Amino acid sequence: MVVKRLMMLLAFLGILVQPAISDWFEPAPEFVFARLACSNRESWMYWPQYWPDMPPWKHDFPASDEFFIGILHELTGVRVTPDSYKIVRLDSPDVFKYPFLYLSEPGFLTLNEKEIANLGEYIRRGGFIMADDFRTGAYLGGPNELEVLRYYLKRALPERDLVRLDVTHPIFHTFYDIDTLNLTPPYGAFVPEFWGMSDEHGRLQIIANYNNDLGDFWKYLDQGDKPLKDSARSIRIGIDYLIYAMSH
């Protein structure tokens, strides 16, 4: 009897020490976080530590992408898997497979004709782009990065314009109600601005986080590197962007 109880105890302890198995299983994900790979101007003089495999479009990859997918899984009903993120080239026909694209460091764009053509076609087909991680020229001593983005959007869609958005726009109230856009950016003493471009029916198709970097907040949140209040708001804003893109 004692031996039997001992065997049962050992079996129970064996179960306890088994590696944890995630219960996150989704056979049919409905969303993939697609990051745009595109032509960029030289950047190594600003970030020599990123040489040679971290061009501006790749900043914060894969940490921010993984974090966003994980938090999306936890906070919403959107079906994803732990690897529901990927890199897609702007000059590839694959870009049209993804209704939501993440564009990092648009102030470093040097798009070629094929990339410009695909950018315009993607938006005309109804796609949505989140442009993130760019700022005033005073930060790096370069061009005003909003004007760089504006230039290429005008090349791709000459009939449309970027306009300044405020907190009353519906995109900030799709899943969470954002009460203020007054965030402290993760770099520099700048004032974040939110810019957008809509189609002829008023549906927003581009959201640009100027003087801000939501991806940086996502990347460093687990490390406690950024203020919790602004980090939490950055998550809510990002989820609002996604839910808007999927529902409008």
Asked whether residue 88 is assigned to any structural domain, the reply reads yes
In this prediction, residue 48 has a pLDDT band, given cuts at 50, 70 and 90, of very high
Q: Which comes out higher in pLDDT, residue 222 or 168?
A: 168
Number of folded domains that form the chain: 1
Q: State the residue for tokens 């906070």.
A: 75
User: Predicted confidence band at 44 (pLDDT cuts at 50, 70, 90)?
Assistant: very high
* C-beta atoms surrounding 61 within 10 Å: 18
Mean pLDDT, residues 20-45 = 82
Residue 77: pLDDT over 90: no
pLDDT greater at residue 189 or residue 59:
59
Of 113-117, 153-157, 219-223, the least confident: 219-223
- 222-241 per-position pLDDT tens digit: 677 777 888 899 999 999 99
Q: Is residue 14 part of a domain?
A: no
- Written as one letter, the residue type at 164 is R
Residue 13 in any domain: the answer is no
Whether 226 contacts 196, CB under 8 Å: no
Question: In b/e form, how buried is each residue of 8-19, taking b as 16+ CB within 10 angstroms?
Answer: eeeeeeeeeeee
Q: How confident is the model at residue 72 (pLDDT cuts 50, 70, 90)?
A: very high
Does pLDDT of 6 surpass 50?
Answer: no
In a domain, 46, yes or no: yes
Q: Is residue 18 part of a domain?
A: no
Mean of all residue pLDDT scores within the chain: 89
The answer to whether position 182 is within a domain reads yes
**193 token code pair:** 């601005």
The pLDDT assigned to 151 comes to 98
Q: Which of the four pLDDT bands, split at 50, 70 and 90, describes residue 11?
A: very low
SS3 6: helix
Residue 43's domain comprises 31-247
The answer to whether residue 3 sits within a structural domain is no
Q: Tell me: pLDDT of 183 over 60.
A: yes
The whole-angstrom separation of Cα 141 and Cα 2 is 77
Question: Is 6 contained in some domain?
Answer: no
pLDDT at residue 83, as a whole number:
87
pLDDT digits (tens, 9 = 90+) for 106-145: 999 999 999 999 999 999 999 999 999 999 998 899 999 9
Predicted pLDDT of residue 230: 87
Q: What is the CATH number for 42?
A: 3.40.50.12140
pLDDT, mean of residues 146-153: 98
